[in-house]
Amino acid sequence: MLEEIRIDNLGVISEAAAQFHEGLTVLTGETGAGKTMIVTSLHLLSGARADAGRVRLGANRAVVEGRFSTEGASARVVDEVQGLLDSSGAERDEDDSIIAVRTVGADGRSRAHLGGRGVPAGTLSEFTGSLLTVHGQNDQLRLQRPGEQLGALDRFGDKTIAPLLAKYRKHRNEWNSARTELAERTSRARELAQEADQLTFSLEEIDRIAPQPGEDEAIVADVRRLSDLDSLRAAAEEAKTALSGSDEMDDASESGALELLSQARSRLEASTDRELEILGPRLGEAITVVTDVATDLARYLGELPAEPDALESLLSRQAELRTLTRKYAADVNGVLDWAQQARERLQYLDVSSDALSELSRKVEESAAATAQMAVKLSEARRKAAARLSKAVSAELAGLAMGRAQLEVAVSTRLAGPQDSAPLEVLGEVVHAGSTGVDEVEFRLSAHSGAQALPIGKSASGGELSRVMLALEVVLAGPDSGATMVFDEVDAGVGGRAAVEIGKRLARLARTHQVIVVTHLPQVAAFADTHLVVDKSDAYGVVSSGVRTLSDDQRVVELARMLAGLDDTETGRAHAEELLATANAERAVT
């Protein structure tokens, strides 16, 4: 959740800090006090485009700093956040929280930091994507986009839709790959055949020479050794003679180190002195080591080439390998890798009639599998759409929208003349996009019998706010745990509808951290934490700050919101009654 936010020189706010807690937090204050700047600051932390016009007049820059915690979040969210931190080099603070900072200069330049590291603004957007959802006054426009509506439906039916969507995408990817490959082979048959001939010739040359892994490096070492063969042989023979003695009959008197060591051990073992006897085993260890070295020298001498033309053969082989490394790669291992890739490429370059027929069959099979999965996905979405329509409509009734009904319509998107992914499904040629073949449209009917129209054409600003809230309440899962921010979601409503909005925000706050900017006391009364944005005009300079209200201060603020009555018994009585009513409603909600 969002634990704390600090703001410097943003709009009318010169310097402010606010701490947030679990449950429902409301921000209130007089018009123009700077409540919307709180939402603007959260937009900036979400990676939104920076606007130099938001920098406080006379300041060089505006700074927004947010402290986030992943405690209590789902394992998926924690893994996503930690993966992002690791990839960007960001670190958690000492208390395991994560600090995000966004700076906007008066010259329009923007900088972002996450966990002490400078990052692109897009990284902040990715970071807050699973932790923070901001519904500003302009964000209602997103609800009118078909893509957003499809996404909302898929979120609602996630358990049944997500597996089908994953299978659909798998088959669609196979279908796209196969038909792309078939089109390329067919249109470039002559060019691909020429490439295949060139690769075949090259592979035959490589196979004829038959290089072995690391052979070029081994030959270099052998050539270096053979170039100095006589001196190497002499050094090894002299060392072996020094250790084991001469093998020549006339040099029998010349003793090696082994014989001398053996004689020394025998004399020690024959001694009756205890100190000399214990030295014998140590000489035995030395004899073992010298014997091993003499054996290795004998092996080394045996492996040295005796043929006079061995060096010439190696040089000839080296020349063969160099013909390959000049053409295909820097070394023999690279040549072998190139050959493997060439063989794989040859399989793709097969433009024979048999190969094209096999590929055509693969395209048809993958297209059929994709179409079959698209049908199942559409069926699942239509079932989910019926349930979503019923659930949201029930919420709208509670939000004082009379008998308004939300209809979630799922239709098939037909393919256009130049469609990039035309697919035949149930006798129709449709567009097979990455999200399926469906289009989703939210339609609202104001009352029973009224025609259902797209919400962008039939809903006012206040109705859009309530539709968005109803959707969030319905879509909120018990393990979501994200922070939701609503900027005047209660715009255009009042009376009993405002109370119902407060009740639903309180219900949403059971599974989410909810932050609401509101003008309505009926909504503010449901808060677990009440923050107020104060505006001062000292020496002709307007500035704002944020403070947390105590219980007594809440009564005063609610009285002001009710009718501007903050110092009368009547105003306080009305505020106390409103708080009592909200507490009673929360207890049974």
Asked if pLDDT for residue 246 goes beyond 60, the answer is yes
Task: Considering only residues 347 and 374, tell me which one the structure prediction assigns the higher pLDDT.
Answer: 374
Closest among 528, 202, 486 to 343, alpha carbons compared: 202
Asked if pLDDT for residue 188 goes beyond 80, the answer is no
Residue 119 has φ and ψ, to the nearest 5°, of -140, 160
Q: How far apart are CA 235 and CA 272, in angstroms?
A: 41
The mean pLDDT value for 163-178 works out to 94
Q: Specify the pLDDT at position 448.
A: 72
Asked if pLDDT for residue 177 goes beyond 80, the answer is yes
Lowest mean pLDDT among 354-368, 443-457, 479-493: 479-493
The whole model's pTM is what? 0.61
Q: Specify the pLDDT at position 265.
A: 82
Asked if pLDDT for residue 252 goes beyond 50, the answer is no
Query: What is the tens place of the pLDDT at every residue in 317-348?
Result: 888 899 999 999 999 999 999 999 988 888 77
Query: What is the tens place of the pLDDT at every residue in 482-502?
Result: 788 887 777 666 677 788 888
Q: Specify the pLDDT at position 435.
A: 92
Closest among 226, 249, 248, 252 to 237, alpha carbons compared: 248
Asked if pLDDT for residue 513 goes beyond 70, the answer is yes
Max mean pLDDT among 372-381, 418-427, 492-501, 509-518 falls in 372-381
The mean pLDDT value for 273-280 works out to 79
The mean pLDDT value for 179-183 works out to 84
Query: What is the tens place of the pLDDT at every residue in 189-237?
Result: 677 778 778 888 899 899 999 999 998 888 888 777 776 666 777 777 7
Asked if pLDDT for residue 122 goes beyond 80, the answer is yes
Q: How far apart are CA 130 and CA 124, in angstroms?
A: 11
Q: Specify the pLDDT at position 72.
A: 75
Residue 96 DSSP class: S
Q: Specify the pLDDT at position 174.
A: 93
HEC letters along 209-239: HCCCCCHHHHHHHHHHHHHCHHHHHHHHHHH
The mean pLDDT value for 376-388 works out to 95
Instruction: Say if residues 541 and 533 touch (Cβ distance below 8 Å).
Output: no
Q: What is the distance of C-alpha 102 from the center of its chain?
A: 21
Of the pLDDT bands very low, low, confident and very high (cuts 50, 70, 90), residue 281 is confident
Mean confidence (pLDDT) of the chain: 83
The mean pLDDT value for 268-283 works out to 79
Lowest mean pLDDT among 175-179, 309-313, 356-360, 510-514: 309-313
Query: What is the tens place of the pLDDT at every residue in 565-588?
Result: 556 778 788 888 888 888 887 777
Query: What is the tens place of the pLDDT at every residue in 518-549?
Result: 888 988 999 999 998 887 665 545 556 788 89
Task: Considering only residues 473 and 557, tell me which one the structure prediction assigns the higher pLDDT.
Answer: 557
What is the number of alpha carbons within 13 Å of residue 180 lying toward its C-beta? 8
Asked if pLDDT for residue 479 goes beyond 60, the answer is no
Query: What is the tens place of the pLDDT at every residue in 255-265?
Result: 678 888 888 88
For the stretch 317-321, contacts whose Cβ atoms lie closer than 8 Å and that sit 24 or more positions apart, written own/partner, are: 317/219, 318/216, 318/219, 318/220, 318/223, 320/209, 321/209, 321/211, 321/215, 321/216, 321/219
Asked if pLDDT for residue 476 goes beyond 60, the answer is yes
The mean pLDDT value for 137-158 works out to 79
Asked if pLDDT for residue 253 goes beyond 50, the answer is no
Max mean pLDDT among 291-300, 301-310, 340-349, 381-390 falls in 381-390
Q: Specify the pLDDT at position 307.
A: 60
Asked if pLDDT for residue 505 goes beyond 50, the answer is yes
- Secondary structure class of 71 (helix, strand, coil): coil
Asked if pLDDT for residue 117 goes beyond 80, the answer is yes
Asked if pLDDT for residue 27 goes beyond 60, the answer is yes
Residue whose tokens read 């204050």: 29
